[in-house]
Structure 1
Amino acid sequence: MPTLDDFRSKEFLDQITILNEISGSKDPEALAGLVDLLKNPVGDTSIDYMVVNALNAVLSSNEAKVVEGLTDSHDGFRILCIRVAGEYAFKSAAAPLVDIAESETDPDRLMEVLTSLARIGDPSAMTVFRAQLAHEDPFIKSSCIEALGKLGDTESISSFKDLVIESEAPGRYEVCDITTWKAIEALASFANDDTIAFLVEKLHHKNPTVRRIITDALITIGSPCIPLLFEAFETGDKDNKILSANVLGFVGDRSGADGLVAAFDKGLAEDPNVRYAVYEALGRIGTMKGIICLVDGLHEEDELILMAVIGGLEKHVNPGMIASLTSQVAKADDQAERLAKAVIASRATRIFDALYESEGAGDMLVDALSGSKDPEIVEDFRSILTEIGGDRAQADIARLPQLSAGTRKALAADDSRSMCAMHRAILTDLGFEPSIGGNGEEAYDFVERGEDFDIIITDMNMPVMDGMELVSKVRNTPGYEDIPIIMVTTESEASQQDMAEKAGVTAFVTKPFKPDTLKAKIQELIG
């Protein structure tokens, strides 16, 4: 076995070898010597660091010594024992750690103790965690919130709710702090009717980042949220209807689709933004009732809503739907033209392939494709026509334009597939080469890779990273301080635009909008 005798007089490489062997063997006989080396370091940074690692390894197999060390007079050894107790979840350390936490006044040491207690997960620590919910340090407070959530402390639920309610107070709602975030996660961990109802009630929180966290939490909870989301959809305002439909779509439960169809039939989706959200949700879920509702939506005239309908149907192609769509596109009237453009802009290749069998419908689709200015879309459908083959397909391929990428670059972020398709169509029409992100994080990846953009378009409410966070990160990126940013949103409250302007948004476009509206705004900002 390795020995620490005369360790200080040994060569550097020998010292490393000895400490590595002790770390591997966890030899308890080395404990006293390691403690001495910790308390009286040799003075070489790398050796002193390896002493700590070796001591950690030995202590991991000696719970009694760790508990004893929690009250050691040496600050470094005491902190190490606190950390080891948490790292290896030593249950017998819970009681003495609780005693330490109740009298500790130094925030850093208190955080060490609370972190270890949280890792141990003993219910005896709940009183300590509750007591620290009023601590002025947000990291200590959030650590206690997280621990109480994991311990299932129902007595703290009201405190968690208060934290979320207080976060909407004037002067506070513009920032999502870590305690609000942790309070939402803790409430979600209970997943009972009371906490779910509260989260649904706060779904349209004043802060978009909080909205995203609540949305993610409800999606994670899943089907137990559905009855309360229906209630919010039926009784809430436009914003609550939109957000409830979005969550129902991402949960993906069949009962969610059936409920949305029923609400649609009751006339609760008259607002175009709400209707758009319902179609998107039905497309994600894909039940028979939902598909029938989407087929009924083929009469919609608004371009964006129609793209949501086509995008939803593209995922669930079936003979009945194709027959209905074929008959409508083959009419070659104004609505047929709108449908053909929606199929092309949505990159609905499965629908295109099926409709092309009808010569009349195929002609309408190729006419729409010939008018596209998006080289990627044209190439996608050129490939489909090549696979179909035959004289007719070859003649249609010859009609397609040869396009090159735009000379200017634009970035767009939206979690809606149809909205991304709309942005792409608008930007390519204006001669831009578009980069598209399905959320703020995906969009910001383009920025981090060093791409340059002439303009940025973003939604406000998105999963993973919302539009507000994206705008803030972009504005703090060198070279992007003055790039025009347009925020496209359904939000109707003036406070939301005020927040966005402070974050760095240049202009707004409110959904639903005509493509020409966004085009005009882009041209106004950069020509």
Structure 2
Amino acid sequence: MTSLDDFRNKEFLDQITILNEISGTKDPEALPGLVALLKAPVGDTSIDYMVVNALNAVLSNNEPKVVEGLTDEHDGYRILCIRVAGEHGFKSAVPGLVAIAETEADPDRLMEVLTSLARIADPVGLPVFRLHLEHEDPFIKSSCIEALGKLGDEESIEYFRNLLIESEAPDRYEICEITTWKAIEALASFPLEETRAFLVSHLHHKNPTVRRIITDAMITIGSPVVPMLLDAFETGDTDMRILTANVLGFIGDRNGANGLVAAYDKGLAEDLNVRYALYEALGRIGTMKGIICLVDGLHETDELILMAVVGGLERHVNPGMISTLTDLICKADAQSDRLARAVINSKATRIFDALYENAGAGDALIASLSVSKDSEIQEEFRSLLAEIGGARAEDDLAKLPEVGVGARKALAADDSRSMCAMHRAILTDLGFEAFVAPDGEKAFDFIEQGEEFDIIITDMNMPVMDGMELVGKVRNTPGYEDIPIIMVTTESEASQQNLAEKAGVTAFITKPFKPDELKAKITEVLG
């Protein structure tokens, strides 16, 4: 006699109690009764659901019965056994699962079997995954790609490579297919120099989402891919140099920084966009050679590049750098003004704190701060001056204007800290309340939270969610169908702008640009 005897005639609460007890004890004696209840349900949704849970618990402790159930005539019980086999890694179930996968015609049931085989991760399943690589269902195909990558199937590498190559075909590059995504991840899982070099060679893929996936894969691999990225920087075109510098910065390996400095010394960063990316990367990594290179960059005259330099140095303040910066700012020339603005607009509070000790440098910084219309910047430095204290700081606080929040709102997304700072400075100068985000996902969070923007500015290449994906999501949001969107890019290929226009971008501006150029573009799109 078991607890399930006369189950159907028991009260609802008694039935719940019995099923909960079976789930907890995993009593094998309850298996026949549970199977009977599964095949002939009680009819109450709650009870029938709990029967499945109890059966799952009992089967998780009974591998032979799971294997036996793989050939059961009842479809629901058979699928439950398939799932339990995968969930609990029952290797003895592999031959049975393989047999099913070889002949299963129903896509949903085949996906259940492949998912379980992938979870068990037994090499015996390799032929089945290879068999279904050409399946018409992209999700089954991608599941097989993912499994073969996790199982380290080197025989499939060539197939994965071809998928990535084919994804750049003129009639396919506009969409990042799930199979392309999984092929990249599979290739990245192999600890082989040839596969890593192949991925690096496709870093500047025609599709921005594919570029982001490859970038994420490179960052995950980390230090082993640094030599290949440095080679690509030296031999690649402008776009490749920008992308490899960005990835090296996110990886944060010292060898990457030293290699970038060596490339800089060879004259490989003459292009302003390349130099900007290189400075940003050196700031993220922070080696001695990199900091020296950044200090040399204090003589740059382009405002955006100078902000990248100052933003990088802000992370690595040291006496030597502060001494050099003090001397430059105290010269009271055009470069002094540019440097002071860069410190303020970058919200480089550590540098400000160190420079303020010198009266001449402090006066230059206060003069630059006084003309800022950014309420957030004003508040940040007001707090710092209050913390510094003293009569001089109090006098300087009194000189600062009261700045209100702009009547209009603007959103800017860029993974570059200095670019975000530049956007803030430009937008607040135009009277906007500026919202900035380091990627598309965080930018879209503002919209989902109910913020209403008059204009959106976004970079094309960003981690997590790239600019193209952000534009697509924005355009599918009620009320944002016609909001002006400006895309900031370094891309030289016309195909990239065509993609962005199809996604819904209103206008473009190419880095590097002067603040007045972006101001003019904003004014233009707002009419």
TM-score normalised to the size of structure 2?
0.99
Structure 2 residue aligned with 1:327: 327
Q: What are the equivalent positions in structure 2 for 1:357-396 lying under 5 Å apart?
A: 357-396=357-396
Q: Secondary structure at the match of 2:508?
A: strand
- Whether contact under 8 Å (2:414, 2:458) holds in the other structure is yes
> 8 Å contact 1:167–1:180 — kept in the other structure?
yes
**Structure 1 segment 116-265 matched on structure 2, within 5 A:** 116-265=116-265
RMSD: 0.9
2:2–2:29 CA contact under 8 A, matched in 1: no
Equivalent AA in structure 1 for residue 84 of structure 2 = V
Whether the 8 Å contact between 1:160 and 1:186 is mirrored in structure 2 is yes
Deviations 1:283-319 (A, max 9, x none): 0000110000000001100000000000000000000
Match of 1:406 in 2: 406
The aligned residue for residue 108 of structure 1 is 108
1:15-34 aligned at under 5 Å gives the runs: 15-34=15-34
Q: Deviations over 1:346-392 (max 9, x none)?
A: 00011111111111111111110001000110111112222222222
Structure 2: give runs of 5+ residues left out of the alignment: none
> Runs ≥4 in structure 1, deviation > 6 angstroms?
none
- Conserved? CA contact 1:412–1:458, under 8 Å: yes
**1:503 and 2:506 are equivalent in the alignment:** no
Q: Distance in 2 between matches of 1:392 and 1:39?
A: 84
SS of 2:456 mapped into structure 1: strand
Partners in 1 of 2:354 and 2:14 — Cα distance? 74
Superposed CA offset, 1:83-118 (max 9, x none):
111111100000111011011111111101000000
> What one-letter code is carried by the residue in structure 2 that aligns with 1:190?
F
- Residue type at the aligned position of 1:348: A
Residues 3-31 of structure 1 deviation map (CA, whole Å, 9 limit, x = unaligned): 11111111111111111111111110111
Q: CA offsets, 1:464-523, max 9 Å, x none? A: 000001000111111111110000000110000000010010000000000111100111
Question: Given that residues 487 and 505 in structure 2 are in contact (C-alpha distance below 8 angstroms), is that contact kept between their aligned partners in structure 1?
Answer: yes
Q: In 2, Cα distance between the equivalents of 1:288 and 1:490?
A: 29
Percent of paired sites with the same residue: 78
Are the aligned partners of 1:307 and 1:346 in contact in 2 as well (CA < 8 Å)? Answer: yes
Mapped partners of 1:433, 1:364: distance in 2:
26
Secondary structure at the residue paired with 1:179? helix
For residues 314 and 120 of structure 2, the distance between their equivalents in structure 1, rounded to whole angstroms, comes to: 50
1:355 aligns with 2:355: yes
Q: How far off its partner does 1:2 sit?
A: 5.6
Kindly provide the amino acid, as one letter, of the partner of residue 201 in structure 1. Answer: S
Amino acid at match of 1:430: L
Letter in 1 for 2:91: K
> 3-state DSSP class of the match of 2:404?
coil
Alpha-carbon distance in 2 for matches of 1:172, 1:58: 48
Q: Which moved more, 1:155-164 or 1:384-393?
A: 384-393
Q: Counterpart amino acid of 2:380?
A: D
TM-score, reference length from structure 1: 0.99
- Measure the CA separation in 1 of the matches of 2:272 and 2:500: 23
Return the alpha-carbon distance in structure 2 between the equivalents of residues 291 and 40 of structure 1: 73
Aligned residue for 2:71, secondary structure, equals: coil
SS of the residue 1:176 aligns to: coil
- Distance in 2, Cα, partners of 1:285 & 1:169: 36
How far off its partner does 1:75 sit?
0.8
Amino acid aligned to 1:136 = E
Say if 2:59 is the partner of 1:59: yes
Cα distance, 1:2–1:526 mapped onto 2, change above 3 Å: farther
How many Å separate the matches in 1 of 2:393 and 2:38? 79
CA distance in 1, matches of 2:402, 2:79: 69
